[in-house]
């Protein structure tokens, strides 16, 4: 039996490694994906459940006073009771609509969380304890209408605290990104996890990761049910529960499985795809939902966010991915360290421990820092690994842009062109003030923890990306996640010859050029108009 298990695991790992290689973009050719896109076929970014009872949530007053932006990263506010008002605020700042863009006849929405290609693969299910406002049960968050859809009523004693199940619709990403799409789902779920934790902090709440098998998670949010046949599948990503809440997940799953009273039918998101991307589908089907890493717990005292221009709510609402940067804008040294500070281990609630992801920086335009290539190890063992594996420039020099912020300088150079080339010729990587590439410890965690490690590394990178988005927004600056890069090109640049480190994500930051497509419409203008009528 043990031998069989080992073999199964080995072949899953071989499959994973093959998937990783297949989904790399290379100078010679991109990862397999559609050659043309029919925009009319794009899967709907909003799922809803026809026939499910709906619970409206009061729209929060976005103009209300808010805590300093520092609370998004660390510190503890007085916990608020779970009411329609607090739940509404939590969901709005975790995953709600924040703005609309318009170009010609087209309009599309933006959310608190960013998403590769704005395709938003993620869905959120809630397990709510009974209250005078709702029955205990399983609910789906309808993002467009900012309301809850009740999927299942549960007995009052089965849910004692708020929990969330995050899922992904791979098809939404696969439509545009083909085989690479699974990586984007993982990065997106990392962003979403981080943003849930940041938004929870505004309510004085903290989530923790509650590991559970994928079958169990699928059962408690109902995505394994027959009504999903014929619509785009969702796969479970994560379970989050409020810290200190007790959850008997096996009992809950049993009740969900046994109940014949699930309500509503999931909407179809688009036409049947013409092309299937079988490797990423097969991998997604094998991933489990256990995490060996944990969310960092931060000190309860809040540190004000240095140089912040925006408060916590504004930081979330005004976070935008820049599509172009002012390459003349030099970051002040304090801005640069405020941007990187939330990436330092233990300094942000939007981090995982143990640390598995380190940074390569293309510094383009930062006061008191020579332009060039720098490394930022995020752990002692990571420092040793980077030094031993990044062999191209062995003469490392330590530099301290801020007393606690240590970088390893590899080379002084103008790296704008190289950064853009490595990021699939995207100019944002060149015109930013700084572009970062995230290097994940790869071989060792994969050997020790198998598929779990792969998911975890991408999620950790997504979470670091969310720190960078929020930090740049708080500073009145912009960021842009970069999922499109030539993987092995980055490895070659550093002289990485084996797979002990792999690049998993990138990020550009600086002062974004004004995006004329951002309309003046607020995220929920459509609901406010109805409420005001
Ligand atoms: C995982 C991930 C990868 C991304 N990759 C790119 C990229 O390669 N190039 C780019 O211009 N934007 C990229 N983005 C930014 C998205 O296009 C952006 O988040 C989306 O359009 C929504 O806009 P918003 O961030 O302003 O809400 C990425 C975002 C994420 C989360």
Q: How far is the CA of 482 from the centre of ligand 1 (A)?
A: 7
Q: Which atom of ligand 1 lies closest to the CA of 191?
A: 31
Cβ atoms of 353 and 337 closer than 8 Å: no
Task: Assess whether pLDDT exceeds 50 at residue 207.
Answer: yes
User: How far is 533 from 530, CA to CA, in rounded Å?
Assistant: 5
pLDDT interval class at 394 (50, 70, 90): confident
Domain ranges, residue 396: 312-510
Q: Return the pLDDT at 3.
A: 43
What Rg value do the Cα atoms of the chain yield, rounded?
A: 22
Q: What are the start-end ranges of the H helices in 353-510?
A: 380-389, 416-422, 428-431, 443-449, 451-474, 487-494
pLDDT band at 6 (very low <50, low <70, confident <90, very high): low
Where is average pLDDT lowest: 37-46, 122-131, 421-430, 501-510?
37-46
For residues 248 and 189, state if they share a domain: yes
Q: Do 135 and 197 sit in the same domain of this protein? A: yes
Residues 257, 321 within the same domain = no
SS (H, E, C) 66-106: CCEHHHHCCCCCCCCCCCHHHHHHHHHHHHCEEEEEEECCE
Number of domains in the chain: 2
Q: List, in order, residues 6 or more apart from 458 with CB less than 8 Å away.
A: 183, 186, 187, 190, 440, 504, 505
Instruction: List the residue whose alpha carbon is closest to atom 29 of ligand 1.
Output: 116
Question: What tens digit of pLDDT does each residue of 402-456 get?
Answer: 988 999 999 999 999 999 999 999 999 999 999 999 999 999 999 999 999 999 9
CATH code at position 248: 3.40.109.10
Interval between CA 118 and ligand 1 midpoint (Å): 6
Ligand 1 atom nearest to CA at 184: 1
Domain assignment present for 2 = no
Which atom of ligand 1 has the smallest separation from the CA of 111?
27
Tell whether 505 is covered by a domain. yes
Q: What percent of the chain has pLDDT over 90?
A: 89
197 and 335 together in one domain: no
- Indicate which atom in ligand 1 lies nearest the CA of residue 485: 8
Pocket of ligand 1 (CB under 6 A): 110-111, 114-118, 184, 187-188, 191, 320-321, 426, 428, 480-484
Is residue 339 located within the same domain as residue 241?
A: no
User: Are residue 427 and residue 284 in the same domain, yes or no?
Assistant: no
pTM beyond 0.85: yes
Among protein residues, the one with the nearest Cα to ligand 1's atom 9 is 482
Residues 369, 239 within the same domain: no
Do residues 256 and 325 share a domain?
A: no
User: Looking up tokens 């739940």, which residue turns up?
Assistant: 87
The answer to whether position 390 is within a domain reads yes
Residue to substitute in 111, 193, 481, 507 for testing ligand 1 pocket (most ligand atoms within 8 angstroms of CB): 481
**243 and 100 inside one domain:** yes
| Ligand 1 pocket test target in 101, 107, 318, 321 with most atoms within 8 Å of CB | 321
Q: Are residues 385 and 471 in the same domain?
A: yes
Report whether pLDDT(5) > 80. Answer: no
Confidence of residue 533 (pLDDT cuts 50, 70, 90): low
* Top mutation candidate among 183, 459, 483 for ligand 1, by most atoms within 8 Å of CB: 483
242 lies in some domain: yes
If DSSP codes are grouped into helix, strand and coil, which group holds residue 400?
Answer: strand
3-state secondary structure of 413: coil
Is 146 within a domain?
yes
- Summarised one tens digit per residue, pLDDT across range 316-375 is 999 999 999 999 999 999 999 999 999 999 999 999 999 999 999 999 999 999 999 999
Q: Is residue 6 a part of any domain in this protein?
A: no
Query: What strands, in cross-sheet order, belong to the sheet with 147-153?
Result: 54-56, 147-153, 137-142, 122-128, 163-168, 235-242, 207-209
Q: Which residues pair with 348 in a beta bridge?
A: none
Residue 451 lies in a domain: yes
Asked if the model's pLDDT at residue 1 lies above 50, the reply is: no
Residue 424 · residue 487 · CB < 8 Å: no
Confidence of residue 303 (pLDDT cuts 50, 70, 90): confident
Mark whether 364 and 499 lie in a shared domain: yes
Do 95 and 171 lie in one domain? The reply is: yes
* DSSP assignment letter at 51: T
Chain position carrying tokens 């995982």: 352
Q: Please check whether residue 457 lies inside any domain of the structure.
A: yes
Mutate to test the pocket of ligand 1, among 112, 324, 480, 519 (most ligand atoms within 8 A of CB): 480
């Amino acid at each position: 039996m043990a031998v069989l298990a080992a073999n199964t695991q080995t072949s899953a790992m071989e499959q994973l490694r093959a998937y990783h290689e297949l989904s790399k973009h290379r100078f010679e050719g991109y990862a397999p994906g559609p050659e043309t896109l029919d925009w009319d076929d794009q899967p709907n970014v909003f799922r809803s459940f026809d026939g499910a009872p709906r619970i409206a949530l009061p729209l929060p007053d976005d103009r209300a006073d808010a805590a300093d932006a520092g609370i998004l990263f660390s510190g503890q506010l007085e916990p608020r009771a779970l009411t329609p008002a607090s739940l509404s605020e939590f969901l709005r700042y975790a995953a709600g609509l924040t703005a609309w863009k318009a170009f010609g006849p087209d309009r599309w929405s933006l959310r608190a969380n960013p998403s590769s290609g704005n395709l938003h693969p993620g869905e959120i299910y809630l397990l709510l304890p009974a209250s005078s406002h709702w029955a205990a049960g399983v609910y789906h968050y309808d993002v467009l209408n900012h309301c809850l859809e009740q999927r299942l009523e549960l007995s009052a004693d089965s849910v004692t605290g708020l929990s969330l199940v995050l899922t992904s619709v791979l098809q939404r990403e696969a439509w545009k990104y083909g085989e690479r799409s699974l990586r984007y789902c993982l990065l997106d779920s990392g962003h979403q996890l981080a943003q849930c934790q940041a938004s929870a902090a505004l309510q004085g709440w903290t989530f923790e990761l509650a590991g559970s098998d994928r079958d169990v998670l699928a059962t408690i949010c109902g995505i394994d049910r027959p009504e999903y046949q014929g619509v785009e599948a969702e796969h479970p990503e994560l379970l989050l529960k409020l810290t200190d809440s007790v959850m008997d997940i096996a009992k809950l799953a049993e009740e969900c499985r046994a109940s014949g009273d699930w309500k509503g039918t999931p909407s179809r998101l688009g036409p049947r795809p013409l092309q299937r991307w079988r490797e990423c589908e097969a991998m997604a089907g094998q991933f489990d939902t256990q995490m060996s890493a944990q969310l960092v717990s931060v000190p309860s005292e809040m540190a004000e966010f240095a140089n912040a221009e925006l408060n916590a709510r504004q930081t979330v609402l005004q976070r935008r991915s820049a599509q172009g940067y002012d390459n003349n804008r030099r970051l002040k040294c304090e801005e640069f360290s405020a941007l990187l500070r939330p990436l330092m281990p233990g300094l942000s609630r939007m981090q995982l421990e143990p640390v598995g992801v380190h940074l390569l920086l293309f510094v383009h335009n930062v006061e008191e820092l020579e332009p060039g290539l720098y490394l930022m190890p995020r752990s002692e063992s990571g420092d040793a690994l980077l030094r031993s594996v990044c062999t191209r420039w062995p003469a490392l020099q330590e530099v301290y842009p801020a007393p606690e912020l240590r970088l390893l300088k590899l080379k002084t150079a103008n790296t704008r062109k190289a950064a853009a080339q490595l990021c699939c010729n995207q100019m944002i990587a060149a015109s930013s003030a700084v572009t970062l590439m995230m290097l994940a410890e790869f071989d060792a965690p994969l050997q020790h923890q198998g598929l779990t490690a792969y998911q975890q590394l991408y999620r950790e990178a997504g979470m670091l990306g969310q720190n960078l988005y929020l930090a740049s927004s708080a500073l009145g600056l912009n960021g842009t996640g970069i999922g499109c890069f030539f993987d092995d090109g980055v490895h070659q640049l550093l002289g990485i010859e084996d797979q002990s480190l792999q690049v998993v994500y990138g990020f550009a930051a600086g002062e974004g050029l004004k995006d004329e497509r951002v309309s003046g419409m607020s995220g929920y203008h459509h609901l406010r108009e109805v409420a005001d009528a």
